[in-house]
Structure 1
Amino acid sequence: MTDRYGHLVVAGKVFLLTVRKSIDRGIHMDKCPVCGEKLYEGREEQIVTLYQGKNYHFCSTDHRDEFEEQPGKYV
């Protein structure tokens, strides 16, 4: 059950939920190597780094920076 604000209410306790709207973002092209989030061609911003001759795409600049610090952990 939800309250009038859309919060989930279970056994009298209120839970705040983060909901991502599912929209058509384009063709799935890759996954972020750090978290596994699906990435799409239609994204406004492409966050990419080149490692050993291959382009790696990321969902955020934080994940790109984390990858660049320890690429062997994610490849």
Structure 2
Amino acid sequence: MGDDDSADRLIEIGKREIYQNLDFVQLRSYFLKSKGISEFRKGNYEQSIADLNRALPELLKVNDFAWISVIYFYLGKN
């Protein structure tokens, strides 16, 4: 569980640092995807779904098939 806590802290730092910068919209989606997976692992399914759904549109725009597939996988498991 220690690794998950460290990952959560780093995700929050990343989101906070880039959130308002329009140059990093795609990167923000990767942070949201990671946060959604983390929330799933903690059993916070509603938050997981919300984060994953917020990550999806930008990744669809850039056709990041690998991470889109991961998001759909976790949405299905939620």
TM-score of the aligned structures, taking structure 1 as reference length = 0.27
TM-score of the aligned structures, taking structure 2 as reference length = 0.26
More strand by share: 1
Higher Rg of the two aligned structures: 1
Q: Which has the higher contact order (CA 8 A, sep 6+)?
A: 2
More helix by share: 2
